A = this chain, B = another copy of it.
Amino acid sequence: MSCANRAASVMEGVIVPRADAPDVVIQRLPIYLRSLDHLAARDRQVVSSQDLALEAGVSAAQVRKDLSHFGEFGKQGLGYDIAYLRSQLERILHLDRPWYVLIVGAGALGHALVHYGTFAQRNYHIRAVFDNDDLKIGQPIGDGLVVQPMKEMCETIQSRQISIAILAIPASHAQQVAEEVVRCGVRGILNYAPINLAVPQNIPVANLDPVASLQGLSFYL
């Protein structure tokens, strides 16, 4: 793509973030971003809605409709400028800044999460790990962290500018811990516990329950 084309895309790319974009659309934007990353890694610079759809596992009409919630990003007949669309999706999703994250639960899942390098690559930085188990508290975990007791949570969230909590704990503790992290100032939760958390409406929660995902698969088998 030439500089001239790039400039044209930029002019067209007026961001109109509408508050009414459905959550299901928002949740597909990271998939488009991931797909654009894969295309860029193969040295692609422009992509049609058809090819982006193929990469993302949806229809081309879905791609166009989803993106139209936020502005006009493509050029009729020319497709999307990959670098530009990536930067705009990052802006829409608030990824143009680092996010600081804590994990509650220093079990097997907590360890796997601490060592998942993709978090830091994507600007999610794990700054604290908590557990209520005296045998785990004080143990080193990950890169320069030590498992902390729950009572240090509020102070740590403030001092380390943490805004997201990952709950890697059993369902039996998750509601209580969710209330605690929210009380201490966390603004969003990624929940691995197989339970629907009751939190204030302004606190978004993303759920990752492998059993629910397996059960959703089994329907088709």
Interface centre among A95, A107, A216 (most CB of B within 10 A): A216
CA distance A108 to B56 in the complex (A): 27
Which residue of chain B has the shortest Cβ distance to A31 in the bound complex? Answer: B212
Q: Is A51 on the interface with B (CB-CB < 8 A)? A: no
Whether A215 lies near B24 (C-beta < 8 A) is no
The contact string, 1 if C-beta is below 8 Å from chain B, for chain A 178-200, is 00000000011110001110000
CA distance A23 to B113 in the complex (A): 29
The contact string, 1 if C-beta is below 8 Å from chain B, for chain A 157-169, is 0000001101000
Q: Is A138 on the interface with B (CB-CB < 8 A)? A: no
Q: Which residues of chain B are within 8 angstroms of A221 by Cβ–Cβ distance?
A: 94, 99, 163-164, 187-188, 204
CA distance A208 to B27 in the complex (A): 12
Q: Which residues of chain B are within 8 angstroms of A212 by Cβ–Cβ distance?
A: 27, 30-31, 34
Whether A34 lies near B210 (C-beta < 8 A) is no
Q: Which residues of chain B are within 8 angstroms of A119 by Cβ–Cβ distance?
A: 210-211, 214
Which residue of chain B has the shortest Cβ distance to A187 in the bound complex? Answer: B221
Whether B92 lies near A219 (C-beta < 8 A) is yes
CA distance A171 to B38 in the complex (A): 10
CA distance A189 to B220 in the complex (A): 11
CA distance A119 to B194 in the complex (A): 11
22 A-B residue pairings within 8 Å (CB atoms): A26-B220, A29-B215, A30-B215, A34-B209, A34-B211, A35-B196, A57-B196, A93-B216, A94-B219, A94-B221, A99-B221, A108-B108, A118-B211, A119-B211, A122-B211, A122-B214, A124-B211, A164-B221, A187-B221, A204-B217, A206-B213, A208-B213
